[in-house]
Amino acid sequence: MSLDQLYQQIILDHSKARHGSGLAATEAPEGTSTGQSHQLNPVCGDEVTLRLAVQEGKVAQIAWDGAGCSISMASASVLTDLAEGMTVAELHEVIDSFREVLRSRGKVHADPELLGDAAAFEGVARYAARVKCAMISWVAAEDALNQAA
């Protein structure tokens, strides 16, 4: 299996089994500071509402609800797996790196050591119309993180 095929499979798997989805049915952990952000991409219809909970400087929980294409939903799922347990500073670094890769039009390669499964979205950078799809939950997470931290 090639790396591109592996990355496609990661996106497909996460778009079907959406980790962190279920915001409406999920309570924030007690004693956490939370932030919540709703983001909408009216051009393609992607929409996500994400709540992020921080406790003692670490991301304790991400919960979200959304609708949209497989790229946007898979990206939110991967973000959830990656971010929980990170410090606030680590998550800011990961968001910045993800943004740099996606906005590079394929010129900046993803660091799998830093981005984990989010490196699977590196190929999206070549399709300008899809960058917002992959970024929508990350923009929501950054906004919610700034509210909570």
- The domain defined by 3-148 folds into Sufe protein. Chain: A (3.90.1010)
pTM equals: 0.93
Quote the CA–CA distance of 111 and 128 in Å, as a whole number: 20
Q: Report residue 6's pLDDT band, with 50, 70 and 90 as the boundaries.
A: low
Q: What is the pLDDT of residue 7?
A: 62
Please tell me what DSSP assigns to residue 87: B
**Residue-wise pLDDT tens digits, 94-126:** 999 999 999 999 899 999 999 999 999 999 999
Sign of torsion, CA 125 127 129 133? negative
Q: Report residue 74's pLDDT band, with 50, 70 and 90 as the boundaries.
A: very high
**Residue-wise pLDDT tens digits, 31-72:** 999 999 999 998 889 999 999 999 999 999 999 999 999 999
Average pLDDT for residues 17-42, to the nearest whole number?
A: 93
Please tell me what DSSP assigns to residue 39: E
Among candidate residues 23, 62, 65, the one with its CA nearest the CA of residue 46: 65
